[in-house]
Amino acid sequence: MVLIFLDQAEGHIKKNSFEAACYGVKLAENLNTSAEGIVLGTVTDDLAALGKYGLKKIHTLKNEVLNNFDDQVFAHIIAEVAKSADAKVIIFSNNFNGKAVAPRLSVRLKAGLVSGAVALPDTTNGFVTKKSVFSGKAFATIAIKTDIKIISLNANAYKATKGEGTAEVVALNIEIPASKVTVKEVNKVAGEIPLSEAELVVSGGRGLKGPENWAIVTDLAKALGAATACSRPVSDSDWRPHHEHVGQTGLTIAPNLYFAIGISGAIQHLAGVNRSKTIVVINKDPEAPFFKAADYGIVGDAFEVVPKITEAVKKLKGIS
Amino acid sequence: MKILVCISKTPDTTAKIAFTDNNTKFAEAGVQFILNPYDEWYALVRAIELKEANPSTVLHLINVGGTDSDPIIRKALALGGDEAIRVNSASHDDFYIATQIAEVAKQNNYDLIFTGKETIDYNGSSIGGMVAELLELPYISLATKFTLEGNVATVEREIEGGEETDVVTLPAVVSCQKGMAEQRIPNMRGIMGARTKPLKVVEPVQADTFTETASFELPPAKAGVKLVPADQPEELVRLLHEEAKVI
């Protein structure tokens, strides 16, 4: 059986978990076995409807305590389920929580872990999984040698698709161990698309000259339904919040579309975005290194070009 | 207070990435190796700040590597560690490395173990969690802020679209990222002093390896940028819609 951990926040399954679910379902199909999910905490989503992604069974423990993530507690519960339901492969999304709990589970179950997978494992001869290495500049194929395997899947690396189906929902009867970590506060920007989950991203750099000029970025993002991001100098100067910083020291993202406005494309910035499927660069300097990594580009003044792009996007989408 | 900081050797950020031996090994020739930036800028510097605030703190560094790790260990000592331990092994398997770190940690009873959020070569982000599990300690991953009062730590960690503040009683393991501290440059006194600080080399304990790197590959080269004239932004939108099919 392939077990998929479906991460939740505020009662809803996270977007990347649907990708992990579909990846796990496809892997189960290749291994001639079934795929099951595990959901911890008081999720309000219809769990039986997760069958639409191909999951046969959902193990769930609806307890408010589990709305606060603690990797030690979660590893304990997932390990218990993996053992009793005989999971051979466990799939996580390589998100913030996945990065914390998957390594623990690896030790607990003596199960080899590949984190940051970008494709389905090749199971024709052993169990070999491709992952992103060198900050997106290369891939490695890693063989897992243990009986039980753990994979954490990068965001946007596998497309979630829905069909028909209903999953059997099973309430877990596992005693929750006491947490050694107290969550004191959670701060989230309401109504924004989390950058780490976004399929479309519009990003601005120093070329925009100051925070007062950010409307061209946010307007385009709004028209596209995209998240906003920025380069390091921008967040270091407090023009934009730190959680928007993408690059070597910030967030690493791989959206379908990365729109870079007024960003020259230093190697440290590219390390955070070079796995994006399509990169568009708008820069007035034709020598900007970012053009070498781009798929599409416009050499021109962002203040003139970007509002026109926004208008064209609105026209395309029928937004007046 | 006893702190252990885990440090790794990685190729420089700007190093050319290429592979040899039928794409099974990273081509090291001509590559400058550095102290992994996350280990250095965030984990180590924050630990040094904690020692500065409480000078009786003992600060150890650990690296699992061969003699080629010594230059980056000396650099870390120049920045501020008291003593370094190198476990003499060239393994790249996360579980094997975590087992070596946990073994050293068991002998020294650290109150706090810091790692960087990941290395910039393998991007595994798993050593901290594995060490925590092996030592049965709490683990806070991807921390952006860390403050200490007595043996109670308040830690901010990144979550999807925001931040969470956690409180944990030491001992604990914390992986560190941007926000924890600011990069420092070692000064001459530190560099001179680092030469005489102890760098203990210990042999690895027996441990399993769970994974093996089969091969490497470079991503397919980009076809080259398609430039759209600045006066035709609607053409860009058309290409994104019809050709790239991303909007």
Do B230 and A71 make contact, defined as CB atoms within 8 angstroms?
no
- Tell me B195's DSSP state: T
pLDDT number for residue A192: 74
The upper half-sphere exposure of residue B139, i.e. CA atoms within 13 Å in the direction of its Cβ, equals 33
Return the higher-pLDDT residue of A131 and A196: A131
Q: What six digits make up the tokens of A145?
A: 């040698």
Contacts of B179 (CB under 8 A, 6+ apart): A242, B42, B143, B144, B145, B156
Mean pLDDT of B113-132: 97
The upper half-sphere exposure of residue B3, i.e. CA atoms within 13 Å in the direction of its Cβ, equals 26
pLDDT number for residue B162: 85
pLDDT in tens, A160-170: 999 999 999 99
What span, in angstroms and rounded, lies between the C-alpha atoms of A196 and A156?
9
Residue with tokens 């406005």: A261
Q: Which of A52, A57, A305, A27 is nearest to A171 (CA)?
A: A57
pLDDT in tens, A140-185: 999 999 999 999 999 999 999 999 999 999 999 999 999 999 999 9
Q: Which of B215, B165, B233, B149 is nearest to A188 (CA)?
A: B165
Contacts of A5 (CB under 8 A, 6+ apart): A17, A20, A37, A38, A78, A90, A91, A92, A93, A98, A101
Do B129 and A138 make contact, defined as CB atoms within 8 angstroms?
no
Q: Which residues of A115-134 are buried (b: 16+ CB within 10 A; e: fewer)?
A: bbbbebbeeeeebbbbbbbb
pLDDT in tens, A26-75: 999 999 999 999 999 999 999 999 999 999 999 999 999 999 999 999 99
Do A316 and B241 make contact, defined as CB atoms within 8 angstroms?
yes
DSSP-assigned letters across all residues of B64-106: EE-GGGHHHHHHHHHHT-SEEEEEE-----HHHHHHHHHHHHH
User: Residue B140: closest CA among chain A residues belongs to which residue?
Assistant: A100
Q: What percent of chain B has pLDDT over 90?
A: 94
A139 → closest Cβ in B94, B216, B244: B216
pLDDT number for residue A167: 98
Q: Is A245 helix (H, G, I), strand (E, B) or coil?
A: strand
Q: Does B190 touch chain A (CB under 8 A)?
A: no
Contacts of A236 (CB under 8 A, 6+ apart): none
Q: Does B16 touch chain A (CB under 8 A)?
A: no
Q: Are B239 and B226 in contact (CB under 8 A)?
A: yes
Return the higher-pLDDT residue of A187 and A73: A73
What span, in angstroms and rounded, lies between the C-alpha atoms of A138 and B19?
10
Q: Are B234 and A312 in contact (CB under 8 A)?
A: yes
Do A108 and B132 make contact, defined as CB atoms within 8 angstroms?
no
Say how many C-beta atoms besides its own lie within 10 A of residue A106's C-beta.
31
Q: What percent of chain A has pLDDT over 90?
A: 93
What span, in angstroms and rounded, lies between the C-alpha atoms of A239 and A289?
23
B138 → closest Cβ in A14, A134, A180: A180
Q: Which of A97, A101, A90 is nearest to A16 (CA)?
A: A97
Q: What percent of chain B has pLDDT over 70?
A: 100
Average pLDDT, chain B: 96
Average pLDDT, chain A: 96
A242 → closest Cβ in B13, B179, B222: B179
Contacts of B104 (CB under 8 A, 6+ apart): B4, B62, B85, B87, B202
DSSP-assigned letters across all residues of B108-153: HT-SEEEEES--TTT----HHHHHHHHHT--EEEEEEEEEEETTEE
User: Residue B171: closest CA among chain A residues belongs to which residue?
Assistant: A180
What span, in angstroms and rounded, lies between the C-alpha atoms of B193 and B82?
10
Q: Are B117 and B177 in contact (CB under 8 A)?
A: yes
Q: What is the pTM of this model?
A: 0.95
Is pLDDT at A191 greater than 90 in this prediction?
Answer: no
Give A164→chain B minimum CA distance, Å.
26
- The sign of the dihedral angle between the CA atoms of B231, B236, B239, B241 is negative
Distances from the Cα of A274 to the Cαs of A184, B66, B112, in angstroms?
35, 31, 35
Q: Give the CA dihedral A161, A163, A165, A167, nearest 10 degrees.
A: 0
* Packing angle of the helix pair A96-109, A71-84 (nearest 10 deg): 50
Do A138 and B212 make contact, defined as CB atoms within 8 angstroms?
no
Do B13 and A267 make contact, defined as CB atoms within 8 angstroms?
yes
pLDDT in tens, B62-121: 999 999 999 999 999 999 999 999 999 998 899 999 999 999 999 999 999 999 999 999
Q: Are B175 and B7 in contact (CB under 8 A)?
A: no
B214 → closest Cβ in A128, A132, A200: A128
Q: Are B33 and B162 in contact (CB under 8 A)?
A: no
Is pLDDT at B222 greater than 90 in this prediction?
Answer: no
Q: Does B22 touch chain A (CB under 8 A)?
A: no
Is pLDDT at A292 greater than 90 in this prediction?
Answer: yes
Query: At residue A32, what are phi and psi to the nearest 5 degrees?
Result: 55, 45
Say how many C-beta atoms besides its own lie within 10 A of residue A191's C-beta.
6
User: Residue A223: closest CA among chain B residues belongs to which residue?
Assistant: B247
- The phi-psi region of residue A226 (left if phi > 0; otherwise alpha if psi is between -120 and 50; otherwise beta) is beta
Contacts of B145 (CB under 8 A, 6+ apart): B154, B155, B156, B179, B180
Beta strands across the sheet bearing A227-230: A227-230, A200-204, A257-261, A278-283, A296-299, B226-227
CB under 8 A, 24+ apart: contacts of B220-223: B222/A292, B222/A293, B222/A294, B222/A295, B223/A295
pLDDT in tens, B151-189: 999 999 998 888 899 999 999 999 999 999 999 999 999
Is pLDDT at B46 greater than 70 in this prediction?
Answer: yes
Q: What six digits make up the tokens of A195?
A: 């950058």
Do A194 and B161 make contact, defined as CB atoms within 8 angstroms?
yes
Q: In this prediction, does ipTM exceed 0.90?
A: yes
Q: Are B38 and B176 in contact (CB under 8 A)?
A: yes
Is pLDDT at A266 greater than 90 in this prediction?
Answer: yes
Is pLDDT at A320 greater than 70 in this prediction?
Answer: no
pLDDT number for residue A194: 85
Say how many C-beta atoms besides its own lie within 10 A of residue B243's C-beta.
12
